[in-house]
Chains A and B, each alone.
Chain A
């Protein structure tokens, strides 16, 4: 059974690039435009969350913290997309329980490599 990944980003083009890449590689992909929508859609079983860091409303780190606080989602791998490789942001994300991160701009191969790393 294919693994399901949810991509959370307010930019539709990034969302599409991510979902096209992942679908082509055989994953099921769900899209969400922000943190709230993502949480709504997380009612179905999902294997991985790929979320942007900066989003209007609930941002990536807040979403991550929320996920870690829910008993049913606690162990869900979460990968953050970030434009800045600032050490403190990465540190904050790590502290909040991020499984990994990808620095934009990234290529499809990079994305797949990280997804495979996290999902095995």
Chain B
């Protein structure tokens, strides 16, 4: 039992030292911030207090001294200086070392701990005259001050867009989505205005919405969401009150307060029956939709109230392996569900179809929920980079601040782990090659302190992560020289800036004029690019003399993809839906004629294509009309010719065995409903193959063109 507790403490302490470091680094920029000082103090306090409880005496004793120092800071008797912060950062590393060592302290650890405490004494000495009297010994855990509870309000919104709202290019659903991001939100769509199909005009909007929102935002902020549709819609915002003061209200009272029913009618009805909503509807006094809305309101308030009361038990700590198991089982369930859907469809039994559709819906919800369990905010990773930036810039004599945005953006745990190294690499590059020395920056009229911005945001099924700096930008002359040296391009090749920029992604490419300890050890951006490729992501570079921005587009999760199922000669393959732009037909004659060129005309655009049938050496006779999937790859558009497009398919990715490791064009496999295995195609690799093939042909035909760059946008 005790072991389990100790394990928990170690986990908790590991999180606390991350928090400690983050708070310290922020404190460095705003040393007066009481809240930050409080955060540092609380982290130290908890590490110490719990450490003493679980027998980590060395940690407790060491941390106690730091806590004392920050207690003085809290009382304004000691100033936050860079020395104090640097020392506390070192102390934080020492605590980490102690945590890793458990109770088995090495002499080296003991010595470094003493060294830190001695230095601390020097800093604290002037202020600590009475310190001993204030905090005499290890005190019991006193609770941290409660977090300031801001005013959260609950609002009721009634949003009735005008019928022609679609004609302003506005999608009303996006407005509602924006609301859901502001706080706890319940939405009810009133669809009673939708006419029968024969009277239905698809260009009109017939729906109106009621929304209950509990958020910190003020009424103006909420109205701002609808600012562009003002005049094209009716909007009523009622503030129901401070969320924490809301009371459970009877449904009848809500209806009266909303003005849906009169107080007299309510009393009359109340005298007759208890189930008020139903009775009111039956009596024709209020439409059913309104009662539904009032019920939603009651429910929302109830949820908000319940959320408020037990503050403590809101998160559970679960071992990651349990989640992985859950994801696997859900994966299998998705497969079986696909099989059920297929069977139901073939059976033609409406009852069966109904059940299978219901199962499909629930499975989807289950899948999304399960996936969201694995989602972690990327902010924790960002925190670690603060330290990296601090240390690196100090070592290089540069002044750099790290600005982060979108720390709350959530990503699959495994994706976050795999992003760690590429991001470290990009930040190192930015500090080492991008940001100039302070004097160079001043000479250019830039601020002395360079700025690296690390931002993350959601965009559909992807997360965009951008590392940008306000440094010198890419050295295009240097890149060109280097590319010529390496024989990647000929000396005369005319390249656009963008083409030149993308050269830095070429394997083994590094322009660092001098090899520093930090980057430029011959490992270039190609490594980053490869890691991003493995995550099925994309990397783009934008550069100008006032900075470089490298953007990563990463899929939210690796475990499941939405794919398009296709068949070739009786075998099944899955193409990730994210890569697909469109599907068109390839008449046999057309295919034959342009066989050599392997180029397709799509609305005036030339698109190279590949026959997967030939690529995979499938010998059976192709159908008269084959299908071409136009895929969007990082090398441009590319067509994949298949026999038949079966339909979309939620795919659980299974890894292929080591034997297939060399086979780049397949990224994994999946099991279809009937037990058949389908291979998941890596469109980027396939396209790279097609383009290489074409270049070889071109090179053979006209050797003079051999100098054409291999790396295209």
- Mark A residues whose CB is within 8 Å of B: 1-2, 20, 23-26, 68, 74-78, 94, 97-101, 116-120
Contact = CB atoms under 8 A, between A and B. Distances in A.
Interface string B466-491: 10100000000000000000000000
B171 A120 contact: yes
Contacts of B549: 24
Contacts of A20: 542, 544
A61 B100 CA distance: 66
17 contacts: A1-B632, A23-B542, A24-B549, A25-B457, A25-B464, A25-B551, A26-B540, A26-B551, A74-B167, A94-B168, A94-B231, A97-B167, A99-B170, A116-B457, A117-B174, A120-B171, A120-B177
Nearest to A44: B603
Interface in B65-120: none
B413 to A, nearest CB: 23
A75 B166 contact: yes
Contacts, number: 62
B169, B232, B632: which has the most chain A beta carbons within 10 Å? B169
A24 B544 contact: no
A8 to B, nearest CB: 15
Contacts of B464: 25-26
Interface of B: 166-171, 173-174, 177-178, 228, 230-232, 457, 459, 462, 464, 466, 468, 540, 542, 544, 549, 551, 553, 578, 581, 632
Contact of A99 (B168, B457, B468, B544): B168
A24 B468 contact: yes
Given A1-B581, A1-B632, A75 B169 contact: yes
Nearest to B178: A117
Contacts of B544: 20
A24 B166 contact: no
A99 B466 contact: no
Contacts of A98: 168-169, 228
Among the interface residues B173, B228, B464, B551, which one has the most CB atoms of the partner chain A within 10 A?
B228
B404 to A, nearest CB: 14
B473 to A, nearest CB: 12
Contacts of A74: 167
B169 A26 contact: no
Contacts of A78: 169
Contacts of B459: 25-26
Contact of B169 (A2, A77, A101): A77
Given A76-B169, A78-B169, A94-B168, 18 more contacts: A1-B581, A24-B542, A24-B549, A24-B551, A25-B464, A25-B466, A26-B462, A26-B464, A77-B171, A94-B230, A97-B169, A99-B169, A116-B457, A117-B178, A118-B174, A119-B174, A120-B173, A120-B177
A99 B227 CA distance: 10
Contacts of B174: 117-120
B170 A77 contact: yes
A100 to B, nearest CB: 4
Contacts of B466: 24-25
A113 to B, nearest CB: 10
Nearest to A27: B459
A37 B59 CA distance: 69
B57 to A, nearest CB: 49
A78 B231 CA distance: 17
Nearest to A109: B405
Contact of A94 (B173, B232, B551, B553): B232
Contact of A100 (B178, B228, B468, B551): B228
A75 B578 contact: no
B553 A68 contact: no
Interface centre among A25, A26, A74, A76 (most CB of B within 10 A): A26
Contact of B578 (A1, A68, A94, A116): A1
A82 B173 CA distance: 26
A99 B167 contact: no
Contacts of A120: 171, 173-174, 177
Contacts of B551: 24-26
A82 to B, nearest CB: 13
A65 B600 CA distance: 36
B577 to A, nearest CB: 9
A99 B549 CA distance: 29
**Would you list the 4 A-B pairs with minimal beta carbon distance, nearest first?**
A77-B169, A99-B169, A120-B174, A100-B228
Contacts of B632: 1
Contacts of B231: 94
B538 to A, nearest CB: 9
Contacts of B468: 24
A24 B540 CA distance: 8
A48 B457 CA distance: 19
A21 to B, nearest CB: 10
Given A75-B169, A120-B171, A26 B553 contact: yes
A7 to B, nearest CB: 15
A98 B540 CA distance: 32
